[in-house]
């Protein structure tokens, strides 16, 4: 009974805290502008099945692709055993499914153990790749500090989970022989049947019981810890990869999104008879200065980033030594979104835009203003280096589009701040003043007048 109460308290506390964190992430994503992404559900579900479930794009590099598959499949299939652990914890049972499934239980747990061994091998190799072989894309400037530590923490948690599984199963195999009335027969398990006696064969029943309970609690502890760690980690993509691939753009890679205000203006120029009369209204914001000007899908992209660096490794600008890193762009957008979220949670009125402050006015996304923006995270040099080749978009294993926010920030810089690279500004000024990219003393249509 004590164990059941303790399990229930841990489960409720961990779940409550996790729900709060995921709720904040949802709030943060919805800080972005509304965007209608719909149509062709068949193709969207195909993307989810092939890219998110099937890991299709991971196999561009087949060795890490196979190793990642081992960990991914082990993670998914292990949830079957987790269901039993939850049932045992809530109701005080021990291996609830073992007597009910018989030989099928042996097959399922044996399969989980084989996958766990493969996942262990893959995890060790990934640790070696990051920390010993030092694969270049894991050691770019944006990966220093927390991002690099984050990746190692999650791999260590994987190892702890595997230790928990084999401690629990290995000790249980021996306890079945000592006390078959309490410990249900699981049949010959693929790994624990020989690993258990090898590791714990000299222990008495009380010591074996301690090891089995240690493995059981370690397993559930890692699961709850992982659940609450996810919102702070790049491994949030384990969950967000599925909606992100579903809502991925289905348009051709190189197609750019038009700005409605500019489209309307251009149509009025070509068809003056159908143009709507001008209406005095607030000047629209072209492009994106902050997360509020990006769409919710852009922010979902940022939270879905796996920080794998495939986008940066394939970026021609980065490969030629320029400052641009598509991975850093997405990480910076997420960091800025998190910063805004923390300030909104503070409810501090100092973050209300000065012109909107007043008695009884509460801080919200609509009136937020802290004097900072995405340009405090992302330098003009970075967004100017982009060649819009879409290599980063093609490389991403979860269909993130780093090019979109880059283009939106460029548009803001040029159309709202009248800034840009020194090679670009004269061209834009000439187009605005003379309708031609060339600096000529007369307008482009001057010849029509016969002068």
Greater confidence (447 vs 240) lies with 240
Greater confidence (280 vs 199) lies with 199
Taking phi first (over 0 means left), then psi (-120 to 50 degrees means alpha), and beta for anything else, what does residue 40 get? left
pLDDT of residue 276: 64
Within 10 A of 405 (CB to CB), how many other CB atoms are there? 27
- Of residues 200, 198, 176, 201, the one with CA closest to residue 187: 176
Least reliable range by pLDDT among 87-96, 104-113, 367-376: 87-96
- Of residues 349, 383, 389, 387, the one with CA closest to residue 367: 349
Greater confidence (352 vs 441) lies with 352
User: How many angstroms separate the Cα of 435 from the Cα of each of 263, 267, 342, 390, 432?
Assistant: 17, 16, 46, 29, 6
pLDDT of residue 384: 94
User: Could you tell me the pLDDT band of residue 285, with boundaries at 50, 70 and 90?
Assistant: confident
pLDDT digit string, tens, across residues 54-96: 999 999 889 999 999 999 999 889 888 889 999 999 888 889 9
User: Could you tell me the pLDDT band of residue 382, with boundaries at 50, 70 and 90?
Assistant: very high
pLDDT, mean of residues 348-369: 91
pLDDT of residue 337: 98
CA pair distance 116, 45, nearest whole angstrom: 29
CA pair distance 308, 402, nearest whole angstrom: 14
In this structure, are residues 311 and 422 in contact, taking their beta carbons and an 8 Å threshold? no
Residue 280 has pLDDT above 60, yes or no: no
Check: pTM over 0.85? Answer yes or no: yes
User: How many angstroms separate the Cα of 278 from the Cα of each of 253, 260, 262, 264, 281?
Assistant: 35, 15, 14, 11, 9
Q: Would you give the DSSP letter of residue 33?
A: B
Q: Residue 5 has which token pair?
A: 């109460």
In this structure, are residues 398 and 237 in contact, taking their beta carbons and an 8 Å threshold? yes
pLDDT digit string, tens, across residues 384-431: 999 999 999 999 999 999 999 999 999 999 888 888 888 777 887 787
CA pair distance 306, 333, nearest whole angstrom: 14
Q: What SS3 class is residue 352?
A: strand
Q: Residue 241 has which token pair?
A: 């990869």
pLDDT of residue 254: 75
In this structure, are residues 191 and 213 in contact, taking their beta carbons and an 8 Å threshold? no
Those residues whose C-beta lies under 8 Å from the C-beta of residue 295, and which sit 6 or more positions away, are 32, 33, 34, 35
Any idea of the CA torsion for 186, 190, 194, 196, to the nearest 10 degrees? -50
Percent of the chain scored above 70 by pLDDT?
95
Those residues whose C-beta lies under 8 Å from the C-beta of residue 82, and which sit 6 or more positions away, are 219, 223
Q: What is the mean pLDDT of the chain?
A: 91
pLDDT of residue 164: 96
């Amino acid at each position: 009974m004590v164990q059941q109460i303790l399990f229930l308290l841990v489960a409720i506390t961990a779940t409550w805290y996790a729900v709060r964190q995921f709720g904040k992430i949802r709030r943060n994503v919805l800080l972005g502008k509304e965007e209608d992404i719909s149509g062709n559900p068949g193709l969207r579900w195909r993307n989810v099945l092939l890219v998110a479930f099937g890991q299709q794009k991971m196999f561009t590099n087949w060795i890490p692709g196979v190793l990642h598959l081992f960990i991914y499949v082990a993670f998914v299939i292990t949830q079957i055993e987790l269901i039993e652990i939850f049932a045992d914890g809530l109701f005080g049972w021990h291996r609830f499914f073992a007597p009910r499934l018989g030989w099928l239980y042996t097959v399922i747990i044996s399969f989980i153990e084989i996958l766990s061994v493969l996942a262990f091998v893959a995890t060790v190799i990934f640790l070696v790749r990051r920390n010993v072989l030092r694969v270049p894309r894991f050691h770019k400037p944006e990966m220093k500090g927390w991002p690099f530590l984050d990746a190692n923490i999650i791999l260590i948690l994987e190892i702890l989970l595997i230790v928990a599984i084999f401690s629990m199963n290995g000790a249980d195999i021996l306890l079945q022989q000592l006390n078959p009335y309490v410990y249900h027969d699981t049949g010959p398990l693929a790994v624990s049947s020989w690993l258990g006696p090898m590791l714990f064969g000299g222990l008495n029943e009380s010591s074996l019981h301690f090891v089995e309970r240690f493995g059981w609690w370690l397993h559930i502890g890692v699961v709850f810890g992982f659940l609450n760690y996810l919102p702070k980690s790049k491994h949030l993509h384990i969950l967000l990869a599925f909606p992100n691939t579903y809502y991925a753009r289905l348009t051709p890679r190189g197609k750019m999104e038009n700005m409605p205000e500019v489209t309307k203006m251009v149509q009025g120029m070509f068809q003056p008879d159908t143009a709507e009369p001008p209406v005095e209204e607030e000047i629209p914001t072209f492009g994106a200065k902050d997360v509020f000007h990006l769409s919710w899908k852009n922010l979902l992209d940022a939270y879905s980033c796996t920080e794998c660096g495939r986008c940066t490794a394939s970026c021609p600008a980065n490969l030629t030594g320029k400052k641009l890193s598509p991975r850093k762009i997405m990480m910076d957008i997420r960091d800025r979104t998190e910063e805004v979220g923390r300030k909104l949670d503070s409810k501090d009125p100092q973050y209300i835009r000065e012109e909107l402050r007043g008695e009884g006015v509460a801080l919200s996304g609509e009136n937020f203003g802290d004097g900072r923006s995405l340009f405090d995270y992302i330098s003009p040099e970075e967004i100017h280096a982009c060649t819009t080749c879409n290599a980063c978009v093609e490389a991403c294993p979860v269909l993130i589009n780093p090019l979109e926010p880059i283009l939106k920030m460029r548009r803001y810089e040029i159309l709202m701040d009248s800034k840009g690279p020194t090679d670009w500004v004269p061209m834009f000024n000439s187009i605005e003043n003379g309708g031609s990219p060339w600096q000529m003393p007369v307008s482009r249509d001057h010849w029509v007048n016969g002068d």
